[in-house]
Structure 1
Amino acid sequence: MNVRRLIPAAALAGAVALGATALTACSGASAAGVGKGGKLDVMSSFYPMQFLAEQIGKDHVKAATLTKPGVEPHDLEITPKQTGQLGESDVVLYLKGLQPAVDKAVAQSGVKHVVDAATLTKLEVHGSSGHDHAHEGEEGHSEGEAEGHDHGHGEAGEDPHIWLDPVKYAEVAKGVGVALEKADPDHAADYRKNTDELVGKLTALDAEFKDGLKNTASKTFITTHSAFGYLAERYGLDQEGISGVDPESEPSPARMKELQAVAQKDNVSTVFFETLASDKTARTLAADTGLKTDVLDPLEGITDKSQGADYFEVMRSNLKNLQKALGSK
């Protein structure tokens, strides 16, 4: 026999009000955070964005990434499950123009707090030699900074590898910190403190690179993937890429011949390859020119093959390898 119990009107109204309060809390950040376990759910497109979320968010965020360790970010294809996870995130951190599949998914996600790292610093165009500088008067980027930020990044050959320049990465970190403050204002003071700490570490890293690369026998380095244009420009070096910004593109025979000439002319000792892409062309060029090979990691992901456990450790390994290859004095 079914017995229908009557709920007093006052109790029913209270329950409805409580439900509405809970729903409101779930629609935006609060002191307890929005995600499971009282944490802000932050979805990052790939490792450099995830690292910022972890360093700035610390205990207040649950940081995840769409690009799993060992996957080349440029080639990422997003699964339906990842698309669902992206849509349920409180904050999304990505770099528009680097991963087309991510750009599309983010545009369709409906997430309120979306941060495009490319809008937090100035993107530039770098050729394979890293000479196509977009800012001659480097200080502050104030002139023309807004230019290039209203269109799709990467469409005009803009180099997306901003995290390999500690100064630019610090600019991005500041913007991410502000975004986390907006998404979770009750923990704003912690986000500001953590951002300041991270920027301080990046400033120290910049000083290490400046000091470590100021006196070298050669200024030219050859690398598989033209990811180091910002780093080269920041520290007065010349990058010669075997392939372009896409690490999987094949160099022409003419380009390989040109690089052999560059190696001889500029006293190049080493051809660099990386951990996530094929080292075949680097080893071929090295064999043809009698050069050594070594690793220069573009830090698009951390694996057990990486020369370090996080951004700072791998960047310091890159510095050490550059000093050795360039004949640091």
Structure 2
Amino acid sequence: MKLIPLAVACLSGSLVLGGCAAFTGSDTAGIQVATAFYPLEYVAQRVAGDLGTVQNLTAPGKEPHDLELTIRETAAVAGADLVVYESGFQPAVDAAVDQNSTGDVLDATDVVELEDYADGQVNPHFWQDPLRMAALGDAVAKHLADLDPDHADTYRTNAADLRSDLEDLDTAYADGLADCERTTIVVSHDAFGYLAKYGLDMAPIAGLSPDAEPTPADLAKLQDLIRSDGITTVFGERLVSPRLTQSLADDMGITAAVLDPLEGLTADDEDADYLSIMTDNLHALEKANGCS
């Protein structure tokens, strides 16, 4: 386990002294882990427990797709004992890992099996599947145990506890969505494909990117689908403007609600975490689709 050297942390004279101090003080004891965005941070925190410090490169309230790293965040990559990221999802993080990481690296795509969209592009949103998250937790435990063998049993125990929670969540989704009046959900962008394992069909407004604009033809198809399937709810996201989802819901006279893709938390989420938000998502799905 190492502390971040001053020469690495202060990669540029433009880095303020306060930023340097955050990464060079002797108070950063234990394993140092840098994670690319929130679901990876959640897994790393659960597995590391009190034995390490986890730094999330995507700040609360920020949309991870378009992340650009600051010097401070690049320093966190350079000084981490372990970096957990997902290659292909955040190009800036990919570049920082390739150019600056000096410790161990865990690419989630080497651990979880990613699915493809219908057009052949890879769907990166694996964290919507709790069992894939459990597999990542096991891999994090293995890396931390190799880095800190004196506490290997603790990391493995933490990962087992995490897996138990995630298996319970997976069962809750399977049971809660087993008997529903509808199976189609209209969502702001195509971030929920891994929920198809529970029998759901996705109808995204904006396609792969939350910032994409649907064509008039796309909106017309969604309106027809809402009428034909009796859809009651259009789901938006917390980190993306509700303009499109609210407009579609208003046009159709149905409800606009939130289905969180869990790409990040907001500054108001002090009491929320992956498990609680996924549970809130399940309840929203059950209500929208008339599940019993």
So what's the TM-score if we normalise by structure 2?
A: 0.88
Cα deviation, residue 242, structure 1? 0.6
CA distance in 2, matches of 1:304, 1:235: 31
| Aligned twin of 1:251 | 214
Question: For 2:284, which of 321, 324, 327 is the aligned residue?
Answer: 321
1:38-187 maps to which residues of 2 (within 5 A)? 38-127=29-118, 157-187=121-151
Distance 2:52 2:243 in 1: 40
1:319 alignment partner AA: L
Post-superposition shift, 1:245? 2.3
Structure 2 residues without counterparts, runs of 5 or longer: 4-25
CA contact (8 A) 1:219 1:236 kept: yes
| Alignment correspondent of 2:20 | none
- Correspondence for 1:267 among 215, 230, 246: 230
Deviation at 1:76, TM superposition (A): 0.8
Inter-partner Cα distance in structure 1 for 2:27 and 2:270: 33
Corresponding position of 1:189: 153
* TM superposition outliers: structure 1 runs of 4+ over 4 Å: 304-308
The worse-fitting range, judged by mean Cα deviation, of 89-98 and 175-184 is 175-184
Q: Could you say which residue in structure 2 is the equivalent of 1:279?
A: 242
Q: Distance in 1 between matches of 2:271 and 2:230?
A: 29
Could you say what secondary structure the match of 1:96 adopts?
coil
Larger Rg: 1
Q: Report if the CA contact (8 A) 2:190-2:204 is conserved.
A: yes
Q: For the structure 1 residues 245 and 308, does the alpha-carbon distance in structure 2 shift closer, same or farther, using more than 3 Å as the test?
A: farther
Residue in 1 that maps onto 2:180: 216
1:258 aligned partner, one-letter code: K
Question: Aligned equivalents of 2:73 and 2:51: distance in 1?
Answer: 22
Alignment length, in residue pairs?
Answer: 270
Paired residue type of 1:178: K
Task: Tell me the residue number matched to 1:202.
Answer: 166
Distance between the aligned counterparts of 1:93 and 1:105, measured in 2?
12
1:53, distance to aligned residue in structure 2 (A): 1.1
Residue type of the alignment partner of 2:93:
V
Distance across 1 between alignment mates of 2:115 and 2:51: 34
Cα distance, 1:36 vs. partner? 4.7
TM, length-normalised to structure 1: 0.79
Residue 244 (structure 1) shift: 1.8
Alignment CA distance shift 1:306-1:228 (3 Å): farther
The farther-off stretch of 36-45 and 253-262 is: 36-45
Counterpart Cα distance in 2 of 1:113 and 1:326: 44
Instruction: Tell me the secondary structure at the aligned position of residue 169 of structure 1.
Output: helix
Task: State the percentage of identical aligned residues.
Answer: 40
- Give 1:305 deviation, angstroms: 4.9
Deviations 1:277-321 (A, max 9, x none): 111110111112111111000111112455961001100000000
Pairwise CA RMSD of aligned residues? Answer: 1.7
Question: C-alpha distance in 2, partners of 1:172/1:320?
Answer: 25
> Structure 1 residues 325 and 306 mapped into 2: Cα distance closer, same or farther (>3 Å)?
farther
- Alpha-carbon spacing, 1:276–1:69, altered in 2? closer, same or farther (3 Å): same
Partners of 2:73 and 2:248 lie apart in 1 by 39
Give the unaligned 5+ runs of structure 1.
1-24, 28-34, 133-155
Residues 47 and 67 in structure 1, CA contact (< 8 A), matched pair in contact too: yes
C-alpha displacement at 1:272, in angstroms?
Answer: 0.1
